[in-house]
Structure 1
């Protein structure tokens, strides 16, 4: 009655996870983290008692994920592959017990699947070019228990400027926000979660100094500006700003030429 199976970093012959995995019907925990897998069998639909499933495989080519995860309604933790092939279409709307969901892709799943996942505390969303942001926002509004929210770009979406799209002020429990999307200006402080403690900004290409907005977030403890998050040359931290900040990390490849830190910041 095997309940825990950790196959992290395993190299499977021919990249195929054996279909016999479907016989382990008592499994509660299955990890394929870092495993070399290019094919997942449809027999995984039998693993209906899984609570934890990590499909963050080590795949250079996009992997096909069969539409069987909808059967695993007990799941609390689900990590999807970063690269899935174009044929992958996942129905996830019945996974209402999920508390952790990473790798949710708006290309491979419907954003309305998120509507009933009201127990989610951690969510990472990979944005596709065809994503309807209005529909995504209304689905996210139901996730009032979120503590960590990350938005990731794909190469196709890097050309899209998401300035003004992120209105996240209704997430009263959100402590950590990651934005790896293109936006020429950071959202106004009134559009950001009121109790935000940590913010990570990557690849944003912001032309305007984000500090005048970030320094007004009273609970902020750490800020990261990485990989061309800010492409301007001048940054100012005002007196009285960042009352609780403990850590600030700025990319070494930053184009910053002048950084003014006023006394009392």
Structure 2
């Protein structure tokens, strides 16, 4: 992580009471303790270049109802996004837009989502 990414992670880590978060810019890794943010219900990720394994952190957010992934939210080498059967326990809305590198979006069977194509 470069110093800008580290600073962004520090800021997010210090705001445990947030309910809405938008990250725009390079931050290859999310704070690992993000699942301990009980109020976080809406997350927007733009141009973050997240590593593929970061989906594991996102899917553990207990109260996340809205997830927006746009414009290279994941690294350009990420081709498949997998939403696991036990992940995203409260997710109601998923928005994926302008992520041309994604060739497949896999949603396991019992996950109920309203998916809007953009």
TM-score by length of 2: 0.73
Q: Does 1:166 align with 2:4?
A: no
Alignment of 1:13-92 (within 5 A): none
> Are positions 1:211 and 2:48 aligned together?
no
What CA distance in whole angstroms lies between the structure 2 residues aligned with 1:160 and 1:228?
A: 21
Secondary structure of the equivalent of 1:236? strand
Cα offsets for 1:215-242 (capped at 9, x unmatched): 1101001011111111311211111211
Partners of 1:199 and 1:216 lie apart in 2 by 13
The alpha-carbon deviation at position 211 of structure 1 amounts to 2.1
What is the TM-score of this pair, normalised by structure 1?
Answer: 0.36
Q: Cα offset for 1:186?
A: 2.6
Matched, 1:185 2:29: yes
Equivalent position of 2:72 in the other structure: 228
2:19 paired residue among 165, 175, 178 = 175
In structure 1, what is the equivalent of residue 84 of structure 2?
238
Unaligned runs of at least 5 residues, structure 1:
1-158
Greater RCO, 1 or 2 (C-alpha within 8 Å, sep 6+): 2
Report how many residues are paired.
106
Q: Distance in 2 between matches of 1:247 and 1:174?
A: 19
Distance 2:103 2:49 in 1: 16
Return 5+ residue gaps in structure 2 as ranges. 112-118
| Residue 204 of structure 1, CA deviation | 0.9
Point out the structure with the larger strand share. 2
Please give the root-mean-square deviation of Cα atoms over the aligned residues, in Å: 2.5
